[in-house]
Structures are given as structure tokens and as C-alpha cells.
A and B are shown apart, each in its own frame.
Chain A
Amino acid sequence: MKINKKTALLSIAFFILIGLTGCWSAHELSELAIATGLGIDKTEDGYRISVQFVNPGEIAAKKASSGVPISVHTAEGRSMLEAVRKLTTTAPRRVYLAHVRVIIFGEELAKEGLRKPLDFLSRDHEMRADFVIAIAKGLKAEDVIKVIAPMEKVSANKIFTSIETSEKNWAPTKIVLLDELIESLVSDGKEPVITGVYLTGNSELGGNIKNIQQVNTPTKIKSDYLAVFKGDKLIDWLDESESKGFNYITDNITSTVGFIECEGGGTLTIETIRSKTKLEGAIENEKPKIKIYVTAESNIGDVECPIDLSKSKTIKDIEKKFNEKTKDIIMSSVEKAKELGTDIYGFGEAINRSEPKKWEDLKKKWDEEFKNTEVVVKVDLKIRRVGTIAESFQEEEDQ
């Protein structure tokens, strides 16, 4: 049979294309050990990797089972890849990293620098780059990775979702993805921050199935605080209020809660439902200057003091007080960063955007200049709703 030229060319093109696809080898689902969490710690001459695998049979089982939903394997190696490959000596199946939800670095390693281990994470083709990065505050990553959490049986997933929800509703945490982290590492005008995770309770007990058999789980994973970096090295932590200030400046607030003191004692809590921050950089009199404009919309959420909300003056007062308070939160966060001498907010980038030419000179001595940068904060918060009751019945009780 004569093959016509077109058909021949087409089939050649088809077979050449096969070589171009990234995904090559087939792996049956039952041959894979699905890794959900990765903990990276420092050893004397390399890394210690602890991987959290799911135990699919236990997770998806309809009936209550006595087995553990996750299992953790560890391996040590001079390089990341070596350690990962060494895992196969203990892991029952092929290690599959595409579904890693969280990568935790031990504080010790973070202090030494993240640049080296990050290379493998961004180079490996299997990693999906949508995992959240966190720092184990004051302990080893391994300790966090091996804790079993209630409800969310895969604790790596628990860390992911709790960082995500607290970023959205409470504000002192931040989801840092790999791309963003690397970007702020290489950028001159910005330094990275990473959310911290830590344990309450006994880390030994956390890895035991008994941990989730109690109503009040003895060992819990908490995500809080932001780790401040200079370059790729961890230097200090922002506390809750400073972390919130950080999120205000970087326009990372979706919704949060804040309170003010009332005149006659007691507190009034305000729920911010929308917030928008504009960061402007300028150079005035050869000095860098940063202007931060925060506009927010809020509701009054909780009144625990005698106050008459039906008067518009009261609302104005509250707005004013709250503006001041927010400004303080922001300023204290900025002061902390200045003290540490690390530009985590991207002030440098803001100046670069407005004065690109002058930034060229400035960036060499930015670490010093940052400490002397003038920061002006303007907060414009509007109260939109007071909730389902206007006047608080607190007044009546007091009288």
C-alpha cells in the first residue's frame, strides 16, 4: 500500500509531539504515596525532611476506623533532592509531591536562610506551587507535621485552611505562596514575611491518635505571627497587632475585627468588612517619603458600653477614634520594621514605581535609608451599619 506523503508527515509530526509533553510516565493511583505536608529542618550538614502522607483508606472510609489518617516519614540528606529520594527507603510507595498543601520550615533553618532549600521546591516539576509556606515558630518543622488534627483529618490541609480563613476573617496571618516568596527574595525593595505556626500542648502527644479522641484536643496547631526576614534569613517575629498592621499596609485585609475603648469604660468592637490601602512612594527634599491611605468600611459589631448610637455625632466620634487606633496599629508595625531594618512592606518598590531613576541610586543604601523614611498614614474609616439594634441596652442596666 502506498502511503501518501501528507499522511506520513502528519504521523511523524504526531510522534515528535509526544516528546514535547511534560507528563510522561503513567502511575496508577494505588502506586502513589500522596504527600500533603512537607517539613524541612536543618541538620549539621544538610536537611531533614519529614513528609506527611495521607492514608487514603482511612480518610475516605465511611465507617469509623481505628487507623491513623496520616503517616509521617523522615529522611536526611545533604541536599533536598537527596533527602526526598532517600524517603523511598521507608515510604511504602512512590512519593508524590504534587498535592503538597503546606511546606513548613523549622525556625532554625529559617534563621540560617531559605534560599538553598527553595531551589529544589521551585525546580522540581512535580511541585504544583500552590502550597502555603509557613515557619514553625520556636520548634522543629517535623513536630508540626506529625500532629493529627480533629475534623480535618489531614493536618497539612488544616494548616492551609486555617491560615486562609484567618487571613480572610481575622487578618494577622498571610498566605505566602512559593512564587511570591521567591519574588520578594530577589526584589530589592521588598523583604519577605512568612506566617508562623506553632503548637499548644505537648508535641509528643500530638502524633498519637489519642489526640483526636478527646473533645478538647490537647495538642493544637495554631497559626499566628508573621516571621520577618532580612534577605532569606529570619530575624524576628511580628506580634498579632503588628501583623495586622502589616496586612493593612500591604492591602491584604479582607475582613477583620478591632475594638476601641469607650469613654465611660467598656469596649466597642468594630468589624471591618472592606478595606483598601493605597501605598504611595515619593522623594521629597532628597528624602524618601511613604504615604499610606487606608479606606475601610465597617459595621459596629459589639457594643459593651453605654453609648447612644442613634446620634450621628457618636458615630463620627467612633470613626475618629477608630481611625486613630488603626493609625497606631500601622505605625507600630512600621516602627518595628524600621527597628529591624527590613522593608517587608515593599516601600522600596513603591518608590521605585514613582521615582524609578532616583531609586537606582537609593537602592544601594536602602537598608539604611529605610530606617529614616518618613511615613504618613491616613485612615478613612466609615461606619455603615450598626447591626440589628440601634441603641445598646447596656445603658439601661447601668442606670
Chain B
Amino acid sequence: MRRNMFFKNTKIKKDDWDNVTVKVDAELIPAKISEVLNNIKITMGNSTDLVTRDFKTGKDGSIDIGIAYVDGLADKVFVQDYIIQPLMTDLRMTGLDIEIEKDPNVFEVIKNFNLVSGDLKEIIDLKTLYTHLLSGDTIVLIEGYKKGFAVSSQGWQDRGIQEPTSQTVVRGPKDGFTETLRTNTSLIRRRIKNTDLWIETIPVGNKTQTDVALLYLKDVANPKIVNEVRMRINKIEIDAILESGYIEEMIQDKTFTVFPTIHNTERPDAACAAILEGKIIIMVDGTPFVLIAPAVFVEFFQSSEDYYQRADISSLLRMLRYFCLFLALITPSAYIAVTTFHQEMLPTLLLISLAAQREGVPFPALIEAVMMEVTFEILREAGVRMPRAVGSAISIVGALVLGQAAVEAGIVSATMVIIVSLTAIASFVCPSFNMAISIRILRFVFMILAATFGLFGIIMGLIMMVAHLASLRSFGVPYLSPMAPMVAADQKDVFVRVPIWKMITRPSFISQSDSRRQATPSPKPPNKSTNEGGSQGENK
């Protein structure tokens, strides 16, 4: 019922928008330049960054030309050198007038002989004009024609390609996505030189008209999932898209979960790897974070470096990460459960040592643990948000409050400080920040379960968590695949990372088409008989 109502509301709204846009759509470009330029000025409220200009050119000044662009979006030097210069001087000086005499259609002559630009579009209606104008294109209008040109002249200031800050590696490429969509697609294109890499752009946001791009390998990606992603993006009716998080929240399968069902990355190499697995990349103009869909649980514990280090090292680190997942999830709750319910499980001496530390601590273990965890969360949040300049102050206070003073004052026990620190460190091992946060939320749930039901509560919590994970889907792909449902062939990149030459097929739970990745024979030492001469030479 609720759902239907929701949709009904949006439908009415959508109609309203359509009515507005239809009016603009119908308006074609008038033949008079002054009328068009005036229209632009009025529509944009005479904004100060709007630059309009009209001038006369041609042999006898018979051709009236109007130009409009947005300062800051368009490259001023480009506009000067390649649009105004040819129109004003070349049209007058060179022999173009002969061409004009031959063909009185000035519009065509200018298009064919005068505008030195590779990306040139003819526009006839005002809506398209505004879209181009606001994307950084320069609008060129000619008196007497009910159409104009949009010359691509984008040239705004951007950040440039820098090392990603959120997903760092020791070994691997150091470039990261930027805020500019075009730069980002180029980073992908540069890595995958293949005609099958298709890029679709959908403008989203009624007010912002943000470009949202879908990137996928045509032959590898599952067309059903591509259609599903496209459909879900097309359904979005919102005024603004400022970051890919907007898209993520609006296209995920299920909203009532703490686990992220869409992955994001700042690394072009990680995005490429995803594309090559048959996944779909969703890029949003204005953010370096691109979305990867569909996403499965294990993916959040894979780092792109896993594939750049040797297989044995990566496998060890992979297992360490899963171990840390458990540490981050249940260390405080296990401590609470064991010290308040199952004291008989501890070795006697450890129990005595723990009991000695708890002497004089005024709070129950749960309160103690929650207090310390909350303190840590506050410190962490403060550390992220505070201005860089006051950073050291926070860390001093943090270390003193968390580490020493609280124990010395007898408010918390030393063991609890160890537990909280261990948990905190373990939660940062997870390569994906959003998964780490999910675990952090669940940790508090587990602590309450442990304080009420002991280890039994923890086990019940784990069972429920796994059941919940198994019920999740990401664009129809089971969240726990390839473990549930179990796909034996896809275990090569879950708990261990097998050598690259062993990864023969793509993960089958994402895409089944063109599944063979390689046919490299496994590396072997050189054949003795064929290489004998060489090795002998070396020995000498």
C-alpha cells in the first residue's frame, strides 16, 4: 500500500516537470541574434559569468554573428583563438567570400570552412542551447538562421590526477579518479583498449543535469544486469545528484540493511578489474568515487593490491582480513560474555588476572565496553572532521583519555583498553570503509546480545547475521556468492587468491558469457634438453 502511494506521488510530480519542459522544448531559436542573446540573458538572470558578444564580419560586414559562453566553463584562449579569430578576421581576409558568392548559404560555409573545431553540433532549439552553454560549449549564432552551433570549448579548472586517498596500496598504480567525468572515462579507456568497452551517459537530476555514465564490456557484462542498472537509473526523479552516494542509495536492491550492496572505488585499476569481471561501473560527474555493481560480500575484503603481490602473500593477507572481520565484530562482545557468563571457560590464572583488573571498576562490563567504544567512535569521528591544524591536539587527548588516565582513574580496566584498541585496529584492516562501518554498527548489537544472553547471544547473532547476508541480493546476484550458493570454480578468489595463471575463468556468478579469461600455460622451469647449452654457458 505504502509503496503504491509513494509511486503515485512521484507520478504527479513527473507530469508537472513534463509540462514545464515541453514548453521550453517547443521554443526554437529565433532568427534574430539580438533576440536570442537577450533571451539567454533574461533566462539566466544576467548572471555575471555569462559572456555574450555580437559582431559583424564578412567582406563588407554583411554577416552578423553572435557568440555566448560561460566564463570559467569555457576555455577563454580556445574561444579567442579558434572561434572568434577565424570568424572575425579569417572570414574577412581570406578568400572565403568567393565561397559565399558560390553558395549563398552562409551557415553551411562557416560550418564547412571556417570553424576549426572537431566537436561541433548544430542546434535548433533553446533547450539544447542551454544544455550546451552550461556544459562549457560556446554557442555561435548567425543572423537570419533559425539555428546555431555549439562548439565544444570546455576548459575549466580541475584537480588533476592524484593518488587516491581512501584506498592506498604499497604496490600498484598511484593514479586516482578525479571530479571530471571525461578524465575518469579516459583513465578506463587508457587501460582497456577495446571497442567492446561501451560508455553510456544518462543525465540525471532535474536541476543539476549531472552526467551519469555506465561503463561495461559489451560481450562480458550480463545484459540483464546492464538493463536493470539502466532502468533503475532512469527511474530516478530527483532535483540534484551531487555524489555517487545519491545514486547508490536510490538503486540498491534492499534498503533495510547495514551492509553495502554496491561497491565503490577511487582507483581506476580496481574499476577496470571490475569491468573485466563483467561488472558495471557507474560514474557520476563531480566525484572521484565510482560505483561498482553488482557487489558481493567477499569483494569488500579484496584489495586491488591482492593481485599485484604474489599469490601466497595475498592469500595470507586475505585470510588475515577475514580474521580481523571477526575480531572487529565480536572481540568486545566475547569479552563481555566470557567475563560475565562463562568465567569457568577461562584458565584460572587468566581469570584471576582479569578479576584483579576489574577490582574497583565501578561499572558492569557492558557499560565499560560501550563507554570505551563510544569514546573511540567520538575520537575517530573527530579525527576525520576536524581541521588539520588541530589534529595533534585530538590525538594527544585521545591517547591520554583512552590509554592512561581512564585506567589510572579506575573507571575502566586495562584489559578493556586493550580490547577496544584491538577492535579499532582490526576494523581498519577492512579495505572498504563502508563495510568497516557496517561492522562497527553490528558490534554494538553484538555487545548487547552478549550482555543479555552470553555466548549464546553471540552465536544467535552470528546465525541471524549470516541468514540476513544470505537473503541480500545485489542486482539479483546473491550477496554471499560464491559461498552461498556454493560455486566450487569461483573459490579461487575468496579465502585464498590463487596464482593469476590459475584464474582461467571469470567469476560465474556475475556473468556467464565469454567466461574464459586466459589460456596461459602454468609457468615451468625451462626444459633441460633444449636449454642445456644456455645453462652450461652460465656455469662457466
Contact = CB atoms under 8 A, between A and B. Distances in A.
Interface of A: 14, 17-18, 21, 23, 26-30, 32, 34, 36, 54, 56-57, 59-61, 96, 98-99, 101, 126, 128, 154, 157
B399 interface: no
B340 A59 contact: no
B348 A30 contact: no
B353 interface: yes
A149 to B, nearest CB: 15
Contacts of B344: 98-99, 126, 128
A28 B454 CA distance: 12
B326 interface: no
A28 B460 contact: no
Given A14-B460, A36-B348, A96-B343, A29 B365 contact: yes
Interface string B338-370: 011111100011011111111111001100000
Contacts of B339: 28-29
Interface centre among A26, A61, A98 (most CB of B within 10 A): A26
Contacts of B354: 29
Interface of B: 339-344, 348-349, 351-361, 364-365, 451, 453-456, 460
A203 to B, nearest CB: 25
A178 to B, nearest CB: 15
Contact of A26 (B349, B358, B451): B451
A60 B356 contact: yes
Contacts of B351: 29, 34, 99
10 contacts: A21-B453, A23-B456, A34-B343, A34-B348, A54-B352, A56-B359, A59-B353, A61-B356, A99-B343, A99-B348
A60 B413 CA distance: 13
Contact of B365 (A14, A28, A128): A28
Nearest to B467: A10
B355 A29 contact: yes
Given A18-B453, A34-B351, A34-B352, A60 B357 contact: yes
Query: Which 4 A-B residue pairings sit nearest by Cβ, starting from the closest?
Result: A60-B356, A98-B344, A56-B356, A56-B355
Contacts of A30: 355, 358-361
B468 to A, nearest CB: 12
A17 B460 contact: yes
Contact of A60 (B352, B361, B453): B352
A67 to B, nearest CB: 12
Contacts of B349: 157
A104 B452 CA distance: 37
Contacts of A23: 341-342, 454-456
Contacts of B352: 34, 54, 56, 59-60, 154
A18 B451 CA distance: 14
A18 B456 contact: yes
A312 to B, nearest CB: 49
B340 A28 contact: yes
Nearest to A1: B2
Contacts of A57: 356, 359
B503 to A, nearest CB: 39
Contacts of A54: 352, 355
A101 B349 CA distance: 11
A98 B356 contact: no
A126 B365 CA distance: 21
A29 B343 contact: yes
Contacts of B355: 29-30, 32, 34, 54, 56, 60
A18 B339 CA distance: 19
B432 to A, nearest CB: 30
A139 to B, nearest CB: 25
Given A27-B341, A99-B348, 18 more contacts: A14-B460, A17-B460, A18-B456, A21-B454, A23-B456, A26-B451, A28-B340, A29-B340, A29-B365, A30-B355, A30-B360, A56-B353, A56-B356, A56-B358, A59-B352, A60-B352, A99-B343, A128-B344
Nearest to B363: A28
B187 to A, nearest CB: 46
Contacts of A99: 343-344, 348, 351
A157 to B, nearest CB: 7
A205 B343 CA distance: 33
Contacts of B460: 14, 17
A28 B356 contact: no
Contacts of B353: 56, 59-60
A249 B356 CA distance: 44
Interface centre among B339, B341, B352, B455 (most CB of A within 10 A): B352
Contacts of B456: 17-18, 21, 23
A154 B349 CA distance: 10
B419 to A, nearest CB: 14
A291 B341 CA distance: 50
Contacts of A157: 348-349
B340 A27 contact: yes
Interface centre among B355, B453, B454, B460 (most CB of A within 10 A): B355
A29 B451 contact: no
A36 B349 CA distance: 10
Contacts of A17: 456, 460
A98 B354 CA distance: 15
Nearest to A26: B340
B3 to A, nearest CB: 13
A166 B357 CA distance: 33
A28 B354 CA distance: 11
Nearest to A61: B356
B479 to A, nearest CB: 19
Interface centre among B361, B453, B460 (most CB of A within 10 A): B453
A303 to B, nearest CB: 41
Interface centre among B339, B342, B348, B455 (most CB of A within 10 A): B348
A26 B451 CA distance: 8
Contact of B341 (A26, A59, A128): A26
